[in-house]
A and B are shown apart, each in its own frame.
Chain A
Amino acid sequence: MDIIRSLVQSLIVIIILAMFLEMLLPAGEVNKYVKMVVGLLIIIAVVQAVGNLTRFDFTGELQPYVQKKDDLSFSAIRENGEKINAGQQVTALEQYRQGLENQVMALARVNRKVSVVDVEVKVQSKKNQPEYGQLREIVLVVSRESGPEQPEPENQVVVEVEPVTVRVDRLKEGTLAGSEAGPPREAVAGLINTVADFYNLNPEQVRVVYPPGT
């Protein structure tokens, strides 16, 4: 009952408004055109009133007409469009770069002899260059420790560990030979070649660096 009463109230107000607008119209040749537009407005008002009752948003698609900018000159619109376009290009390039980094990381993890902790991908970001967006360099940050060797499934036996000897005097001298050596050179070269081949790059464009402080 309340719904019907509300709808009738809305319709009464709309009818009175339509009457007011009709009275405002000038008499003359353009009268029928203005009448047509006022009629369309009344249609919108009635549909909105019905839509409000049915909790259906009929104005959801009307945002472009509702948002009113102060400066609607052609140059301002074009400037805004270029700004949006530039922003989208930067965002797209950044997402592309991050996607490549994830892909390179996944590819590098296939090689279990080298432990890659981070990947940095450099792409051409200058728009005036013809190779805009192309891969320039891939930097692999590799841990000095070798990657975890996975035992073969059929060789799952407990490997005996040789007796460990701790020599405090040698440690004081700072000869951390094992950790400074890093992963085998052949493994690193294999990783570089794999990544370079996958992305059709020169091996010089794939660099391996070690994290500082290790």
Chain B
Amino acid sequence: MEILQIVAVGLTATVLIVVVKSQKPELAVLLGVAAGAILFLMVLGKISAVMNIVKDLAIRAGINMVYLGTILKIVGVAYIAEFGAQICRDAGEGAIATKIEFAAKIFILALAMPIVVAVLQVLLKLVP
């Protein structure tokens, strides 16, 4: 039951952060980052299984792997940005968090451009 380990790590990190925050808030932020990294590494192995299923479904649906790769990159960018933004918010830096999210939006839109152009071309081809 890996979920128990994950919950244990999360609760331990939370308790530590609450204790440390009153004495040294800067260390609490670092603890939060470390706890997040540990939790991510614990579920990393499971992500590959999910990715395999998604890839299999995409092949069955006849979706080009380039598009799927772009979507997965976008999902990754979104997760990383959310992770960073949450840490910034926990540290009381809401402005920085907003800027991280803004950067993530720009990256997502830039990555989505080929898909947007592809949709546009497909729709234009449909028009006689």
- A residues with CB within 8 A of B: 10, 13-14, 16-17, 20-21, 24-31, 33-34, 36-38, 40-41, 43-45, 47-49, 52, 58-59, 61-62, 65-66, 68
Are A25 and B101 in contact, with the CB atoms below 8 A?
Answer: no
Are B105 and A30 in contact, with the CB atoms below 8 A?
Answer: yes
Contact A45 B75, CB 8 Å, known A28-B82, A33-B109, A40-B119: no
A65 vs B75: C-alpha distance when bound (angstroms): 19
A47 vs B58: C-alpha distance when bound (angstroms): 14
Residues of A within 8 A of B85 (CB): 28-29
Size of B's binding interface in residues, CB under 8 A: 42
Residues of A within 8 A of B112 (CB): 33, 36-37, 40
Confirm or deny: B53 has a beta carbon within 8 angstroms of a beta carbon on chain A: yes
Are A26 and B57 in contact, with the CB atoms below 8 A?
Answer: no
The 8 Å CB contact of B62, one of A10, A21, A31, A66, is: A10
Are A37 and B125 in contact, with the CB atoms below 8 A?
Answer: no
Are B105 and A13 in contact, with the CB atoms below 8 A?
Answer: no
Are B109 and A48 in contact, with the CB atoms below 8 A?
Answer: no
B residues 114-128 near A (Cβ < 8 Å) are 114-119, 121-123, 125-126
Confirm or deny: B22 has a beta carbon within 8 angstroms of a beta carbon on chain A: no
Nearest CB of chain A from residue B7's CB, rounded to whole Å:
19
Residues of B within 8 A of A59 (CB): 64
Nearest CB of chain B from residue A23's CB, rounded to whole Å:
9
* Closest residue of A by beta carbon distance from B51: A24
Residues of B within 8 A of A47 (CB): 122-123, 126
21 A-B contact pairs sorted by A residue (CB < 8 Å): A21-B71, A21-B75, A26-B75, A28-B101, A29-B101, A30-B78, A30-B81, A30-B101, A31-B78, A33-B108, A34-B75, A37-B111, A40-B116, A41-B68, A41-B115, A45-B63, A47-B122, A48-B63, A62-B64, A65-B117, A65-B118
- B residues with CB within 8 A of A: 50, 53-54, 57-58, 60-64, 66-68, 70-71, 74-75, 77-79, 81-82, 85-86, 101, 104-105, 108-109, 111-112, 114-119, 121-123, 125-126
Are B64 and A34 in contact, with the CB atoms below 8 A?
Answer: no
Residues of A within 8 A of B109 (CB): 33
Residues of B within 8 A of A40 (CB): 112, 115-116, 119
Nearest CB of chain A from residue B70's CB, rounded to whole Å:
8
Further 7 A-B residue pairs, CB within 8 A, beyond A47-B126, A48-B62, A58-B125: A20-B54, A30-B78, A36-B112, A45-B61, A48-B63, A59-B64, A61-B118
Contact A44 B82, CB 8 Å, known A14-B61, A17-B63, A37-B112: no
Are A44 and B119 in contact, with the CB atoms below 8 A?
Answer: yes
Are A17 and B101 in contact, with the CB atoms below 8 A?
Answer: no
* Closest residue of A by beta carbon distance from B55: A17
The 8 Å CB contact of A49, one of B57, B61, B123, is: B61
Residues of A within 8 A of B101 (CB): 28-30
Contact A34 B108, CB 8 Å, known A20-B57, A40-B115, A65-B114: yes
Are A34 and B78 in contact, with the CB atoms below 8 A?
Answer: yes
The 8 Å CB contact of B66, one of A20, A21, A68, is: A68
